[in-house]
Amino acid sequence: MKIKIISKRKLWNHLQPFASKPAIGILFGGERFDCCDEVLAAFENDQFLGAVTLSSEGELMSGQPTIVGLWVSYQHRRKGIGQALLEAAIRRMIEHGLTPVRLDSISSKADIIIKQLPQELKKVIKVFSICHCDLVLDM
C-alpha cells in the first residue's frame, strides 16, 4: 500500500462510485470539503482504498488545524488502512507545524483507531467525539 498526496478533484473522482453512501456526503461534502488544503489517499497498485482530508485553518476557518474526513472503502476495512492514513495525516500536519491537530470523531470505529495511535502522535491531537452514527450512516 502507498499513501500519496492527490488533488481534491482526483479524490472526488475516486469517490464517485461510493457517492450514494451517506458518509461520503457528510465527510467530503460542502464546507467540510471546501476547507481542505490537502488530501492523502491510499492505493494498492492503482486501486483506490481510502483517503483522509486535512485543513490547516480548520472547518469554518476556526484556526484549528483539523483532520476533516477519514474514509476507507468497505471491502478494504479492518486491514490497517485507516490507521495508516490517520498516522500519515498527523505526521503531515506536524511537518507543517500545524499542531495541535483537531480530530472530530463521529464513529466508534474511528475511536478505536485513535486509541491505537503511537503515543508521540496522541500528544499532538485533540479529539472531540461528536456522535456515534455508525449504523445510521452505513460508513
pTM metric for this prediction? 0.87
Tens digit of pLDDT for each residue in 97-131? Answer: 999 999 887 777 788 888 899 999 999 999 887 65
Cell 503531515 sits at which residue?
92
Tens digit of pLDDT for each residue in 12-56? Answer: 999 999 888 888 887 887 778 888 999 999 999 999 999 999 999
Cell 460542502 sits at which residue?
30
Tell me how crowded residue 92 is: count the other CB atoms within 10 A of its CB: 18
Tell me which amino acid residue 3 is: I
Rounded to whole angstroms, the Cα distance separating 2 from 46 reads 9
Q: Which residues face 55 on adjacent strands?
A: 66
Domains within the chain, CATH numbers bracketed: 2-137 (3.40.630.30)
Q: Are 86 and 117 in contact (CB under 8 A)?
A: yes
Cell 486535512 sits at which residue?
54
Q: Are strands 125-129 and 101-105 parallel, antiparallel or unpaired?
A: parallel
